[in-house]
Amino acid sequence: MSTIESVIAKHPVFAGLTEAQVAFLMAASTSRQYPKGDLLTMQGDYWPHLFLVLRGQVNAQKMSVEGRNLIVTSLHAGDLFWGLAFFQEDTPMPVSLEAVKPTQVRLWSRQGLLPFLLQNGQVAWNLSCLMVRRMSQASEIIHTLAFQPVAGRLARFLVDLSPEQKSPVARSLTLDEMAAHVGSTREVVCRFLQRFANDGLIDITRTEFTINDLEGLKELAQQGKG
């Protein structure tokens, strides 16, 4: 098997397929390369495709009518994702999919893959289980946005970025990008970062931040949950 065939064969959705079936999946798909900043598809498009990230990162982001962005999820190497029109025709994308670094994906169309799914019940079941997990993640995001204050969301985001205390982390994200991750604005994020620093929870400079009080941030991240 080629490297890409091995990645497909080892993916939980396609586990247990024969070499011939994996070869069919290769033949039925196309390889796509996306430079940083390119869109796979835009919010509102009809996009009947399923894709596997081979390298890079894809952000699923939703834009409000006011122009604010919310990053719903980030997809990395090994992650499988889809457009809603892959399962239900004429259903628009609720998010845009953007390559945030040079990215390679393996792409299947609904037309090319549907007969295979109908003939292989285990693969269809595995894909359904993955969909349920994605729905659970989406439910958790909605709950967090609805009931958890911005301070708690930002604290959780920082803990996820740096789970170890006193370990400097490069500030690779802009304030706008951090705001998109926590569903807020750059001004609010900037204000809370400064508050965290004044309270001794973090040290922050223009190039990096360090968590001084990991338990304090975790406690703040739990506020509004439950």
Q: Give the tens place of pLDDT for each residue, 56-113.
A: 999 999 887 666 788 889 999 999 999 999 999 989 999 999 999 999 999 999 999 9
Residues 136 and 159 in one domain: no
Evaluate if residue 146 carries a pLDDT over 80: no
Residues 132 and 172 in one domain: no
Distance CA 206, CA 191 (A): 15
- What is the residue range of 209's domain? 148-221
Per-residue burial over 118-133, b = 16 or more CB atoms within 10 Å of its CB, e = otherwise: eebeebeebbeebeee
Closest CA to 193 of 74, 179, 146: 179
Residues 206 and 106 in one domain: no
Question: Is residue 226 one of the residues assigned to a domain?
Answer: no
Residues 13 and 67 in one domain: yes
pLDDT for residue 23: 94
Residues 141 and 153 in one domain: no
Which stretches of the chain are DSSP H helices? 3-10, 19-27, 110-119, 121-147, 150-161, 175-182, 186-198, 214-221
Residues 11 and 110 in one domain: yes
Considering 146, 174, 194, which residue would you say is the last residue of a domain? 146
Considering 121, 146, 171, which residue would you say is the last residue of a domain? 146
Considering 113, 146, 179, which residue would you say is the last residue of a domain? 146
The CATH number given to whatever domain includes residue 164 is 1.10.10.10
Give the pair of three-digit tokens for residue 65.
């009518």
Dihedrals φ, ψ of 219, to 5°? Answer: -65, -40
Residues 9 and 60 in one domain: yes
Residues 213 and 125 in one domain: no
Closest CA to 211 of 172, 155, 173: 155
The CATH number given to whatever domain includes residue 22 is 2.60.120.10
Mean pLDDT of 41-54: 96
What number of other Cβ atoms are within 10 A of residue 82's Cβ?
A: 20
Evaluate if residue 136 carries a pLDDT over 70: yes
Cβ pair 175, 189 in contact under 8 A? yes
pLDDT for residue 77: 96
Question: Is residue 199 one of the residues assigned to a domain?
Answer: yes
Q: What pTM was computed for the model?
A: 0.75
